[in-house]
Structure 1
Amino acid sequence: MRQIFSVRFFAAIGAVVALFFLLTTIFATREVIEGDDDDADGVEVHKIDFVDQIFSSRNEQFALNEEGVAASDTDLILDPSRTLRIVADTPGVDHCPRFPEVGACSVVADLLGEAVVWFALVPAGDNRTVDLPAIDTLDDGLATLVNGWQLPFAPVLVRRCDEEFSSYREFRDVLGDDFTSVYDLDERRLVAVECRIRVAYAPEPTDADSDPDTPLPAPPFDAADEAGQTELEATLTSSLGGAELGEAVERLEAAGWTVRIDDLDDPGETSTPDLDPDRVTVVHRAGVVVGVVLG
């Protein structure tokens, strides 16, 4: 009798089955790595397709309701020839209390085609930039911010910092989330980070979170040891960054420090450190600590 199923036939079948299991494993692993749109901390992820400054709104009464959706329709006027349409019931957030003041706010939007499916109103920055929360991760051309927004970033992010960092790991270890990401409207991507400053609507700090149970270093510091001073400032800022001003002052005084205050929004309150070995300057914005400087 003629042989119908040859060894080659069964080998081919075996190869198909093996390929099936291989592909199943690959896609299952990919699903585990990529995960859902929401991360483990419950942050809602939004892939941001559009960022621009708002000149004005055709509906000056435009606002979000208590459910977090647009209460009415509007056209956001971007320039004389461009508008962005937002229809009622579009979900979003309003982080710009000066809206609809001319040029005071920018819009960040997640688009489906040309339709806005989610948006945020945020304060406009200087020189056609927008200040955004800190970067959490960089992956495959997209930066994911600590609030879940995803945007493209430049190959080299300029660091606007007083201190030097040898690597991004050291940068994050020292600062945690205590920095601002700067988006350039002309380049259409993140181009820089600014240390020791956080936007008002950024989530509460994580890596640089204030822990009231952690003892603070005590004075004095060695005025001749610059490396030691940098490390001590980083430790104090890491411990107190994001804390309420009063709480930070209380903890520092309990540790033996003399404390003075520097409000970033009040130039008249700014002082020049003179390296008093028993004193620190607490730098704050709107009553939230953004840094601790020796002297």
Structure 2
Amino acid sequence: MHTLSSAQLAPGGPVFSPVAAGLWRLHDWNFSPAELAAWVERAIHLGITTFDHADLYGGFRCEALFGQWLKANPGQRENIQLVSKCGIKPLDASRGWQVKHYDSSHTHILASVEASLRNLGTDYLDLLLIHRPDPLMDPDEVAAAFASLKQSGKVRHFGVSNFSPSQFALLASRTPLLTNQLEASLLHTAPLFDGSFDQCLQAGIRPMVWSPLAGGRLLQAAAHPALHAALQQMAAELAVTPATLALAWLLRHPARPIPISGSRSLHSLDEAAAACRLQLERQHWFALLEAAHGHSLA
């Protein structure tokens, strides 16, 4: 069975796995029920028990696909953690959405959660995130929606995704936030330097990280030849794959980010689990940062 060490997302928060499994592309994977079951059960066996969703993934179809597995295996609910997001309304004439926009209103948050619970086949979410910062967000209205969902037991904890430090601070002044899910990788190091990870450390919360392998570009020489070469060489020295090394680079940060692995490959789940067991030395970490930035430190 799994050997990964789980940890709290924040004081008083849920216990998550150190890496999460992302379901953004689940609809595109065209899994049969048996293939989906094998993928989910492999993740759980490895200790990857946190599953990251959003209402609109796969044209609002991914949660229901995962829900088919959960409804067939209801006993597994207590062994996993479900994360979902809401607030993005893409262009969709059939829904009356004539332009892509964001909606953090009380009504939309509650309606989105009801749909997610129904599709996933569960009566609660472990964590709900506001998917994108909404320029029209009323923080008091969002706080009221979160309080209602918590009181009803439909959502246990809350956070945000893609919020700047000031946007996070604004909403956190009204309601407890347990994470900020951000894009971060060796090809997108901004959160390490723009105050985002600093803020998480200050608040004692763990950021979640989407696209930790830059959508696979990190593993392609064309995206950044020097970084690709450095990853290949160091991975060979450490007897791991470049993907495991790139994930371990993120995990080395003291904010203890939780990378989200979003591949249909069972091997990718193995690589993510292996990253949790690879403790990079400081010089290894900085060597990769130097390769990513293309220059040594000042």
TM-score range, shorter chain: under 0.3
Which of structures 1 and 2 has the bigger CA Rg?
Answer: 1
Which is helix-richer, 1 or 2?
2
Which is strand-richer, 1 or 2?
1
Whose relative contact order is higher, 1 or 2, with alpha carbons under 8 Å and at least 6 apart?
2
